[in-house]
Structure 1
Amino acid sequence: MTSAVARHSGTALHPLHAFFLAGIVPLFIGVLLNDYAYWSSYELQWKNFASWMLVGALVFNGLALLGSILSLVRADKRMGKPVAYFLLLLATFVLGLINSFVHAKDVWASMPTGLILSVVTVILACIATWIGLTSWRIGGAR
């Protein structure tokens, strides 16, 4: 009895790229939760936590963006998913950077804009991670 192995025509996602990609979601969710805690309690330390987690999320997002550029260069030109994946990661990075500038404002001046930007970046990060981790398959039985 033989088994058929389906191979995807795209390139495989590098494990280090997958590590950085998977790291952005919990960090951006942490920023969102800290922003919500600050919004509901007016405790300044929550804003500081959010700012530091945002730096970590942007570092991971930038490294995942670099990996997506490499995947975009190596990908088959007929595939549209690497381009959408790259654009989603780029939009997440740009909105995260704008969010970090908003978090750099005076204490209450960052609300509610920081909270809204945190929600949008979490949604974009989740979509980008979903596409990034499901688009490239090494192969196997389906």
Structure 2
Amino acid sequence: MTMFATTRPGLLHPLHAILLAFPVALFTGALAADIAYLNSAEMQWSNFAAWMIVFALVFGGPVLLWSLLLLVRRRNRGPARFYFAFLAVAWVLGLVNAFQHSRDAWASVGVAGLILSLLSTGLNLAAAWIGYSATVDREMVR
């Protein structure tokens, strides 16, 4: 058999991949809004970041559940294990960040909010890298 008959590119189902794009983009946008807020002190940037974090968590929930099912279903758990771990930690940090952003004025972001946004963004980007680039052997899926 040829290589194309025995391997299938990608760890993710196409719908799963589309849903994963939302938390990646939204957490990245929240990080950019946090940086803009720290540079300008314009409260609307903090509001933008807070809403982007909330929607990243809303879309990240199904992605996290799907990654858990993927982890349970796969026998070759190498990439799936790291993918799930990165998404889970990013989701929890995002939740803490949402609570951080619910504070008033300057306390809503500060250094803690910026660090939480940076970690959430980095972990989501790492998870997306794993999810989009991992290949799965068909023999292991059966």
Q: Within the alignment, does 1:90 sit opposite 2:88 as a pair?
A: yes
The residue type paired with residue 52 of structure 1 is: W
Secondary structure of the residue that 1:105 maps to in structure 2?
A: coil
Identify, as 1 or 2, the structure richer in strand.
2
Question: Displacement, 1:5?
Answer: 2.1
- Relative to 1, partners in 2 of residues 1:12 and 1:43: Cα closer, same or farther, differing over 3 Å? closer
Match of 1:118 in 2: 117
The residue type paired with residue 82 of structure 2 is: A
In the TM superposition, structure 1's runs of 4+ consecutive aligned residues that sit over 6 Å from their partners are none
After superposition, residues 66-81 of structure 1 pair within 5 angstroms as 66-76=65-75, 78-81=76-79
CA–CA separation in structure 1 for the residues paired with 2:116 and 2:133:
26
Q: Within the alignment, does 1:105 sit opposite 2:122 as a pair?
A: no
Report Cα offsets for 1:70-92 as digits up to 9, x if no partner. Answer: 1112111x432211111110000
Give the aligned length.
137
CA–CA separation in structure 2 for the residues paired with 1:127 and 1:115:
18
RMSD in angstroms over aligned alpha carbons? 2.3
Question: Displacement, 1:116?
Answer: 1.2
Match of 2:6 in 1: 7
Q: Which stretches in structure 2 are left out of the alignment for 5+ residues?
A: none
C-alpha contact 1:65 1:86 (8 A) present in aligned 2: yes
Question: Displacement, 1:66?
Answer: 1.1
Question: Displacement, 1:10?
Answer: 9.3
The residue type paired with residue 7 of structure 2 is: H
Match of 2:57 in 1: 58
C-alpha contact 1:65 1:89 (8 A) present in aligned 2: yes
Q: Which stretches in structure 1 are left out of the alignment for 5+ residues?
A: none
CA–CA separation in structure 2 for the residues paired with 1:136 and 1:118:
29
- Relative to 1, partners in 2 of residues 1:4 and 1:65: Cα closer, same or farther, differing over 3 Å? closer
C-alpha contact 1:13 1:136 (8 A) present in aligned 2: no
C-alpha contact 2:11 2:131 (8 A) present in aligned 1: no
